[in-house]
Structure 1
């Protein structure tokens, strides 16, 4: 692994600015947050993978030797369902009889050993497939063949406690539902075919729960919007040409506006939300380019990756670079980007880079394997 290369560039024109002072302070002290990158490698060219945990302490250090998560978590099955939810990294695989889970807390590095949950015993007369795993709970959908109802079901595999919330047939939302957790909240988006919009399409709703108890708190009508992103207590909803951000605990609108870059959900997406900023991503020839929308001013700034391109000396050309994932640490306005590219020798290389809003590459390091996920641990 190539050592982490610090590429701090003096900001002569901005030497007297606050931004320059902040950049110089980061150069001296290191980044005030920890980044974990989960990378993967195919086993003998199959669809089974070995997963690795790469920790970058304060950014300005070499990542620790990658932890082999297959060995650490005893991943003996084909775990296609890999997710990071809150601070929990989970691996999941399902069959009709059992659900296999392996869970690790990325903040504490605490491990739950691989467990097998009996689907038929957990929810009798149901076909249960958990969708999300948080803490010691798996939460997903089940269909009760006796009552002919879809249920949102929570199973605590440590206490063996099951909780369910029933839905009617028209509220199953198959093929269009969204299930996500942010903070203490679970948000479930669905279509209601009993209630139609003016254009004849089914109405769209989001039910908001406390995920720990599956207690429903409220229902929000989001008809007309394509999709949503939750970063509790904020909810960002997008449709063609516009979006708005609300505080779903108070129902107050925090921002509503138009942006000619918001064309369609497959070209633009939203992410983490802070007090007055939201991470945005816009499609480019390299993949999704991260940016920051300040919804106090309405201004959007995208991170320029030109310095990254110029720093990769064995990159044959800019079109060979692919951005895999990106996250933005909004407080300090630093983007963390994972990437891959072909070298002049036709070999794949992978890496993770830290970029500030002035398009300065602050740190760049190679990774041994394909970088699948980024987790920022403040």
Structure 2
């Protein structure tokens, strides 16, 4: 039995969402999953990054080039008609923020900010707060009306289940890692004796990323232990205005002469790999994630990881990191210092996290995703 699958990727704007759709299609096998055609709706820039597979039909409606109101109107009124016109059996919405009325559909949980009360309240009295508030109820409606949901972590599933009873088919499928990050970094044996020690934190500027606390923690290590520790904040020159201001303030306070802080805007994967190749310790300080893609990329490089103890991070990296509280500068400082001075532990954790990273593959993610979709489609046809 062969069926047509529709995928709505019109809201895939973040890096992780883009990489996800590109790679699950890359490893898709139409014969294995009994799917005749996949009809993909998205914007031109994303569609141009996806090869022209013989089983893939790309759709790029003009409404996606217009305002968000036009985009949502198209998704609500026009997309269901287009799905029926193309004889699609099932819609896979890769973002639970969809307002499409087509039935039946599978949705994917991708956003967590709307469901983390503490994180949500960081944006109080702002447009971002209003957007997250509305998005929360759009997503809850999407979960309610779907016939199945794909979660990226058990943490996300458990958190969302506090707002919505999950009494239908669901599965947890982690994202994968692009092979370019598997660089097998050779770690230094006696790090504390090096002329300089390079820490790297890959993140845009946002209120739940806590870049400013990492900066202060590094300043304290330099001051208290006379170590030439330097911090690369990759991607931190872009993001939330309030977070950017907090980063600027703490840099002006602790590194006005720019001795140990280096910042960039968003970089592409090859550039990021270059930065990671010249890194000694990988830092991850977010307090809100659904699937921490940047963390698993860091794990795959063979670098030692110092990591936030919030959200799904312990689920992903397990016991292969030194954890800290991203909101507590002393906690961050102590974790970083321990990783610098404890050579045996640092090398052991780097090896362990690299081994764990091997389970995060795009081929596995694709196979599990389309197997789940295919089984759901078969149930519809029965």
Give the TM-score, by structure 2 length: 0.25
Greater strand proportion: 1
Give the TM-score, by structure 1 length: 0.25
Greater helix proportion: 2
